[in-house]
């Protein structure tokens, strides 16, 4: 029996009184009626931007125009995007891309190197083969997986002078699905700040940026929602300002067959969805592009390797929730993380 799910039933993150999920509201002096917001479907996800200290809708239009521009350049599903041009010319010739695409590619390659391929921007052939979330989703055969695996290698993504980009083998496919939303959140934040907005929430389906602070100047209270369906509410809360929170998990896009969950984050070592005991992972960072690449990578790496990596990185924090009811937080969060779910055992390295 095959069960199929698109985008999961819950999001892992809430910002109190901002995403307005009834049960999670806390009285934090944000008057929701004062907010001006805009939403829409972009970059394959539901996007909401809410401003708390401005009612100038023109600013929101500028933000959404920029998000659309990013989608038009980076989406694999848009024929004339820079990413599609790179893919269509794989093994043939290099292609000149816009500055922002080149910037994201540099970051993608950097994270591929830092994570030893756990973040893998050339994962495309495997994403296509599995088709998770599409009408063609299926469990491939081992020979098919081996074939696709042979086409995945970030070392063959060449970033040349003058914004020229080249994939060395014809069958290679670049896929920025694990990093573009983070960049988009950063750009949305930049535009808000440039227009004098200092209290806002940007939400790109699990990629959240809490801009500035609450309108009264106090920090946002960032809540990490429980990834366990049977329990409502949140697992913990942190006071934070100017912070990106990106969550990844196997609950977002998947199908189930024979009691196994086949989901959308692929392990480039095995060619299969990354299987582990993680119920959800959230990454806190100043720039959302870092959090996005890392949340995908930290899910693939698992708790032990992931925590070790995060402790070496500057200004990056992580919260792992495992299926056996443990919550691991990086050491910098020790002072500010307030555990809210008594069924979880808190572990700090
Ligand atoms: P989401 O917000 O949908 O969970 P993620 O940031 O977790 O997105 O990234 C998942 C997407 O990234 C997949 O849909 C796919 O396009 C791409 N992807 C899958 N596996 C990897 C990987 N190991 N490294 C980089 N990108 C990946
Ligand atoms: Mg990601």
Element at 23 (helix H, strand E): none
CA distance 249 to 226: 12
Pocket test for ligand 1, best of 265, 281, 292 (most atoms within 8 A of CB): 265
Give residues with Cβ within 8 angstroms of 126, minimum separation 6: 145, 148, 149, 152, 266, 268, 271
- What DSSP assignment string belongs to 249-260? -TTSSEEEETTE
Q: Whose CA is nearest to atom 12 of ligand 1?
A: 178
For the chain, what percent of residues have pLDDT higher than 90? 76
Count H helices and E strands in the chain, helices first. 8, 19
Q: What does the pLDDT look like over 71-118, one tens digit per residue?
A: 999 999 999 999 999 999 999 999 999 999 999 999 999 999 999 999
Mapped onto helix, strand or coil, the DSSP state of residue 273 is strand
Ligand 1 pocket check for 127: Cβ under 6 Å: yes
Mapped onto helix, strand or coil, the DSSP state of residue 185 is helix
Pocket test for ligand 1, best of 45, 104, 178, 283 (most atoms within 8 A of CB): 178
Each residue's pLDDT expressed in tens, for the chain with a length of 349 residues = 344 443 333 344 455 433 322 223 333 445 555 689 999 999 999 999 999 999 999 999 999 999 999 999 999 999 999 999 999 999 999 999 999 999 999 999 999 999 999 999 999 999 999 998 888 899 999 999 999 999 999 999 999 999 999 999 999 999 999 999 999 999 999 999 999 999 999 999 889 999 999 999 999 999 888 887 655 578 899 999 999 999 987 777 888 888 888 888 999 999 999 989 999 999 999 999 999 999 999 999 999 999 999 999 999 999 999 999 999 999 999 999 999 988 899 999 8
How far does residue 276's CA lie from ligand 2's centre (Å)?
17
Ligand 1 pocket check for 107: Cβ under 6 Å: no
Q: What does the pLDDT look like over 14-42, one tens digit per residue?
A: 554 333 222 233 334 455 556 899 999 99
Per-residue confidence (pLDDT) for residue 259, from 0 to 100: 84
How far does residue 144's CA lie from ligand 2's centre (Å)?
25
Q: Relative to the alpha carbon of 299, which ligand is closest?
A: 1
Please work out, in degrees rounded to the nearest 5, the angle formed at the alpha carbon of residue 206 by the alpha carbons of 312 and 155: 50
Element at 114 (helix H, strand E): helix 99-114
Ligand 1 pocket check for 283: Cβ under 6 Å: no
How far does residue 294's CA lie from ligand 2's centre (Å)?
6
Return the axis-axis angle of helices 57-74 and 99-114, rounded to nearest 10°.
Answer: 70
Exposure on the CB side of residue 181, measured as CA atoms within 13 A: 29
Per-residue confidence (pLDDT) for residue 292, from 0 to 100: 97
pTM for this entry: 0.92
């Amino acid at each position: 029996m095959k069960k199929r799910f698109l985008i999961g039933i819950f999001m892992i993150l809430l910002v109190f009184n901002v995403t307005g999920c009834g049960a999670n509201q806390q009285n934090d002096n944000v008057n929701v009626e004062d907010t001006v917001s805009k939403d829409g479907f972009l970059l394959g996800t539901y996007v909401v931007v809410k401003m708390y200290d401005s009612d100038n809708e023109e600013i929101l239009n500028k933000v959404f125009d920029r998000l659309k521009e990013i989608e038009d350049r980076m989406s694999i599903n848009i024929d004339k995007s820079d990413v599609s041009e790179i893919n269509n010319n794989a093994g043939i010739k290099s292609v000149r891309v816009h500055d922002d695409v080149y910037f994201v590619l540099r970051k993608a390659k950097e994270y591929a190197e830092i994570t030893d391929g756990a973040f893998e921007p050339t994962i495309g052939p495997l994403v296509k083969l599995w088709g998770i979330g599409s009408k063609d989703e299926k469990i491939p055969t081992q020979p098919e997986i081996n074939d696709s695996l042979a086409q995945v290698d970030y070392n063959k993504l060449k970033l040349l002078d003058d914004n020229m980009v080249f994939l060395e083998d014809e069958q290679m496919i670049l896929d920025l699905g694990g990093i573009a939303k983070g960049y988009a959140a950063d750009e949305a934040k930049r535009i808000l700040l440039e227009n004098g907005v200092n209290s806002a929430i940007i939400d790109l389906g699990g990629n959240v940026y809490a801009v500035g602070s609450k309108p009264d100047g106090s920090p946002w209270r960032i809540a990490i929602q429980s990834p366990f369906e049977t329990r409502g509410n949140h697992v913990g809360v942190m006071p934070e300002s100017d912070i990106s929170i990106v969550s990844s998990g196997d609950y977002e896009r998947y199908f189930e067959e024979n009691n196994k969950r086949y989901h959308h984050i692929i392990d480039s070592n095995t060619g299969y969805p990354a299987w582990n005991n993680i119920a959800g992972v959230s990454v806190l960072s100043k720039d959302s592009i870092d959090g996005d690449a890392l949340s995908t990578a930290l899910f693939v790496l698992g708790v032990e390797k992931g925590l070790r990596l995060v402790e070496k990185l500057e200004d990056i924090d992580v919260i792992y929730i495992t299926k056996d009811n443990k919550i691991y937080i990086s050491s910098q969060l020790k002072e500010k993380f307030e555990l809210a779910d008594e069924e979880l055992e808190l572990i700090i390295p």
